[in-house]
Structure 1
Amino acid sequence: MLRPLVLIWRDPALRLAAIALILTGCNAASIAPYQSLLAIRLFGLSDSAYALVLTIASAASVIGAIGIGILADQTMARKKITIAATALGIVGQIIVLLFPSKASFIIAHAVILPVSSATFGQVFALARMASSSYLPEERDGIMAAIRALFALPFIVILPLWSVVFDAGAGLIWIYVELALVNVVLVALILHRWPADGSTMWVDQRSGLSLGKSLREIGHPSVLGRVLLSGAVGSGIAIYMVTLGLTFDEAPGRDIGDVAIFAGLLAGLEVPVMLSMGWLLRYLTRMQAILLGATVHAGFLLAFPVLLPTPAVWFLVVPAAIGAGILLSLPIAYVQDLMGTRAGAGGAMLAVQRVASESIAAALFAVATWVAGYSLAPVLGGITVVLAALALWWLDGRQTARKPGPA
């Protein structure tokens, strides 16, 4: 379990990627559980308006990530491009902080922040290139461990926000933290990211025009698998979208409970992600993804039923097992679809994430129109299982089970 962490710590590029993902995780831990509350409770958006914001944000994120990924592969100016994307995020956060309104929220969360989220994919592109010098069986473990470090801040940040909110602070203070962390991230990239063209690994220009790059990314055999992997992750997205709203509706719950539940879940996800190397000794990657999807779907189906009861706290265990698998293994799966084009591979991670968020937005819209927030996790659970079965049908049926150790 600890070997991937040792490899990451000893490698300067992997260490940078890990620290950058920790900082990115700090921001995700702050905004993800509360974005729906910010939109609906603080800024007064309707459910349908917020679903529309999520949809527009998904489109902006895809366009930005693909454009940035292709540009990075064409120019190899990965450092400058990542700094620019991160700085754009600071602009969006300051706009909401200085001019809090429906308009500023929509502009930031529908356009600016989704485009700036390309930083996430480019950091993973750096990690993938840096891990290319390691043995193939070590790479999945390294990437899963780096993804685990992204989840690590949830353990600390969410309980801190619970204390801050209990002390009377408003949700708007989230944007102060987001901007400050991104300033630190820009400084880190500026001073520690390997200079473009000076790395130990081979980083060649793609040699593909914009049109050819888009056709490659849009090939049905690639895009179809990315969209399915996104559907597998849509359960996690729908959980994040509805967590604050369902807890806020449930008798005896408040936003402090949101932080505690999400923090416990994230804390348990970390050892699950670090155990991916062990799990892959017994299962193929696709079998493990199907297992994770099944377990996470079970959590989603049980969540609205058990939410009003004390038993809901026990659901953090299956939720963490399922999410830990689905947040780590599909990363390497999607990146492998693009071969050696790390920038495009990073862009496809964004497409995968956007597919998850778009599907979650659609499920959220349908659920609120038909029955309310509690239906959304149920629809998410069904979607996750169906998508995982489709991926297994495409890539997993002919792969024999890996034997475990004697």
Structure 2
Amino acid sequence: MIHAFRLIGRDATLRLMILAMLLQGGFAASIGIYQSLIAVTIFGLSDNAYALILLASLLVSVTASIGVGILTDQRPSRRVLALCAGASMCAGALLVLVGQSATAFVLAHVLLLPVTGTLFGQLFAVARLVTSDLPRADRDGIMAIIRATFAFPFVVLLTIWGLLFEAGLPLLWVYGWTAVSGAVLMALIALRWPRDAVAPWTEVKSGLGFRASLSEMLHGPVLLRVGLIGAIHSGSALAGVIVGLLLNAVPGRGPGDVGAFFAIFVVIEIFVTLSIGALRRRFRRLHIIAAGVFIYAFGMVLLPFYADSFVLWLLCLPFGVGGAMIYALAIGYLQDQLGTRAGAGASLLALQQIAAQGLSALVFALGAALGGYGVAAIMGAVVMVAAMLAILSLDKGAATEI
């Protein structure tokens, strides 16, 4: 992993991707973790209404991400589209902060903030372009570090948010921080993101039109694997929604405990992620991902039974260890489905997201209706494991480096 850090340190573009990913992680840590609590406890939205917002947000996010992936696969436009993502982050946060109403919340989370997610795929796409000539193990190591960078703000910000909320700070202040982050992100992109005409990488353009590019991504074997990887990620998407709601329902627990839980398991996740490069040289990529899925699902199953006891804090281990093994390598697995085409690979990340978010919204709504948030957690674990077993079956005869 030290070698991967050295490779990043020598490359200005990779260093930029790290800085941008820090801000993207700050956005997810500030909004993603607390938005369910804000929707239900501040703006009075029902569980079903919030599930619909998640679904609508997902459709906008994925449509935008697929569009960005196809556009960047056809013509040089990465810098402008990255600026649009930063502007959406800033504008969406300001809308909720200024409007302070259910209407403002819905508009921001359905129309503006989902566009911010397009930057996530772009950052990994650029990193893939810059590292295209490196051995696959080195490339996986660099991708793992970038993914760990995304997780790092969860440790710092969630600890800070937990302390501030316990001291009485209103939950809506997360939108103030996000607005500032969006402004900083826009400045960073405007000043340091290479202009497409002189970008320090070589990108293979598909030469395909929009419909042909979409058909390529929807090809059966590719789409099946994208959907299954999305089903695996649906567990983490579901956890981001139900952990806050589960803990908030326990007497004596509140936003501070939510922040502490996520901060602790993300610390574990970061340390494990930074060891993925060494693991990757000894084990197959899919076997590492599978181990992560089983460990994470184990934590999901136990969560509703121990949310009110000290065992809750021990569950940070399976969430952190399992999550690291999934997130660090699943992105590379998806990108390899379309070879070196980074734009198309970023679109596959978007398709994976629609599967993950769509399934998590469905499981959340169904589980909450059948028996509450605990049932939803158990259902999410089952979905993750079933999807992983399907992938192992599909790729059991593949090359050993997969």
- TM-score of the aligned structures, taking structure 2 as reference length: 0.97
Would you say the 8 A contact 2:137–2:280 is kept in 1?
no
Would you say the 8 A contact 1:86–1:117 is kept in 2?
no
Q: CA deviation at 1:134?
A: 2.0
Tell me which residue corresponds to 2:296: 296
Tell me which residue corresponds to 2:199: 199
Would you say the 8 A contact 1:122–1:347 is kept in 2?
no
Per-residue deviation, residues 268-305 of structure 1 (Å, max 9, x unmatched): 10011111111122221111111111111111111111
Q: CA deviation at 1:401?
A: 8.6
Tell me which residue corresponds to 1:98: 98
Alpha-carbon distance in structure 2 between the residues aligned to 1:262 and 1:71 = 35
Q: CA deviation at 1:82?
A: 1.0
Alpha-carbon distance in structure 2 between the residues aligned to 1:111 and 1:384 = 29
Tell me which residue corresponds to 2:140: 140
Tell me which residue corresponds to 1:350: 350
Q: CA deviation at 1:398?
A: 4.5
Tell me which residue corresponds to 1:286: 286
Alpha-carbon distance in structure 2 between the residues aligned to 1:296 and 1:383 = 12
Q: Identity across aligned pairs (percent)? A: 41
Tell me which residue corresponds to 1:89: 89
Tell me which residue corresponds to 2:182: 182
Alpha-carbon distance in structure 2 between the residues aligned to 1:68 and 1:281 = 33
Q: How many residues are aligned here?
A: 402
Tell me which residue corresponds to 1:339: 339
Would you say the 8 A contact 1:284–1:399 is kept in 2?
no
**Helix, strand or coil for the counterpart of 1:134?**
coil
Q: CA deviation at 1:350?
A: 2.1
Would you say the 8 A contact 1:247–1:253 is kept in 2?
yes
* 2:217 is the alignment partner of 1:247: no
- 1:50 maps to a residue whose letter is Y
Alpha-carbon distance in structure 2 between the residues aligned to 1:198 and 1:136 = 26
CA separation of 1:120/1:198 partners in 2, compared to 1, >3 Å: closer, same or farther? Answer: same
Alpha-carbon distance in structure 2 between the residues aligned to 1:2 and 1:165 = 37
Q: Where does the alignment leave 5 or more consecutive residues of structure 2 unmatched?
A: none
Tell me which residue corresponds to 1:72: 72
Tell me which residue corresponds to 2:151: 151
Alpha-carbon distance in structure 1 between the residues aligned to 2:108 and 2:350 = 18
Per-residue deviation, residues 298-349 of structure 1 (Å, max 9, x unmatched): 1111111111111111111111110011111110011111222212211221
Per-residue deviation, residues 11-34 of structure 1 (Å, max 9, x unmatched): 111111011101111111111221
Q: CA deviation at 1:390?
A: 0.6
Alpha-carbon distance in structure 2 between the residues aligned to 1:29 and 1:388 = 27
CA separation of 1:89/1:401 partners in 2, compared to 1, >3 Å: closer, same or farther? Answer: closer
- 2:229 maps to a residue whose letter is S
- 1:359 maps to a residue whose letter is L
Q: CA deviation at 1:180?
A: 0.4
Would you say the 8 A contact 1:36–1:241 is kept in 2?
yes
Alpha-carbon distance in structure 1 between the residues aligned to 2:176 and 2:396 = 45
Alpha-carbon distance in structure 2 between the residues aligned to 1:397 and 1:49 = 44
- 2:260 maps to a residue whose letter is I
- TM-score of the aligned structures, taking structure 1 as reference length: 0.96
**Helix, strand or coil for the counterpart of 1:377?**
helix
Q: Where does the alignment leave 5 or more consecutive residues of structure 1 unmatched?
A: none
**Helix, strand or coil for the counterpart of 1:197?**
helix
Tell me which residue corresponds to 2:309: 309
Deviates more, 1:199-208 or 1:128-137: 199-208
Tell me which residue corresponds to 1:391: 391
Alpha-carbon distance in structure 2 between the residues aligned to 1:217 and 1:111 = 25
